[in-house]
Amino acid sequence: MNNRWNKWIYSLWSPVYDYFFNQGPFLKARCEVFNGIDFQAGDKVLFVGVGTGADLALVPVNQLEITAIDYSEEMLQQARKKFTSSVIKFHRMDAQELQLPDNSFDYVIASLILYVVPDSGKTFSEMIRVTRQDGQIIIFDKFTTKPSLLKKVIRPVIKVFGTDIGLSFEKIAEGHDGQRIILLEDHPVMFGGMYRKIKIRKK
Ligand SMILES: C[S@@+](CC[C@H](N)C(=O)[O-])C[C@H]1O[C@@H](n2cnc3c(N)ncnc32)[C@H](O)[C@@H]1O
């Protein structure tokens, strides 16, 4: 995957995205991801790769200070349409190079984005950088621990559709300074553990 390809493929996905990824098991998993997150009024929350804004419907939008970024203008457009009367700050931005200050968010939310960006390690680093000390990073994504031979073979084909089926969260996290993050939660939320909710605190 590269940004140019993603931009194109998500412009195609944008009108139908919610039909596939914001109903049934996906919506149920999203609800589980946000269940128990103790947002406080005024918290600064960043949605990385917000897409059509599926997650935004599950948080108290009007009590939070929300910034939502995505590389695809078409996906952002879908999200903007749903939240016209809110004060969410939408920006077209590359998750691998966030144009946002260090230590500035109480929560950084990344749903279904690490498996999409060209460089998941760089994106994860950026997410840590912009999270404030004791702030939390919430990830909902598709990871694999031991990719089967079949997965290895079809991985490049599936990538064409804008998704990676062979990403290991452990590998992404390994490359980061373990001193800076603590894993608070890691549990399956969909499809027998293929999709997980991961909650991290920045030290
Ligand atoms: C599978 S969708 C997930 C959208 C949303 N977070 C959700 O949970 O439905 C992946 C999103 O990542 C965005 N994206 C891809 N590459 C990106 C990049 N380099 N920076 C920011 N967003 C990116 C796509 O435009 C798309 O909206």
Rounded Cα distance between 125 and 105, Å, is 14
Element (H, E) at 28: helix 24-34
Q: Which of 11, 70, 80, 137 to mutate to test the pocket of ligand 1 (most atoms within 8 A of CB)?
A: 70
Torsion of CA 89, 183, 60, 140, to 10 degrees: 70
Gap from CA of 6 to ligand 1 centroid (Å): 8
Structure token pair of residue 136:
């939390």
Structure token pair of residue 77:
């457009």
pLDDT digits (tens, 9 = 90+) for 184-194: 999 999 998 89
Q: Does this model's pTM top 0.75?
A: yes
Q: Whose CA is nearest to atom 26 of ligand 1?
A: 51
Element (H, E) at 69: strand 65-70
Gap from CA of 199 to ligand 1 centroid (Å): 19
Rounded Cα distance between 179 and 186, Å, is 18
53 pocket-lining for ligand 1 (C-beta < 6 Å): no
Domains, the chain, with CATH or none: 3-202 (3.40.50.150)
pLDDT digits (tens, 9 = 90+) for 111-142: 999 999 999 999 999 999 999 999 999 999 99
Structure token pair of residue 139:
């990830």
Give yes or no for a contact between 176 and 198, defined as CB atoms under 8 angstroms apart. no
Longest dimension (CA), the chain: 49
Rounded Cα distance between 196 and 169, Å, is 10
Short-list 46, 142, 140, CA closest to 56 = 46
111 pocket-lining for ligand 1 (C-beta < 6 Å): yes
Residue 150 in this model has a pLDDT that exceeds 80: no
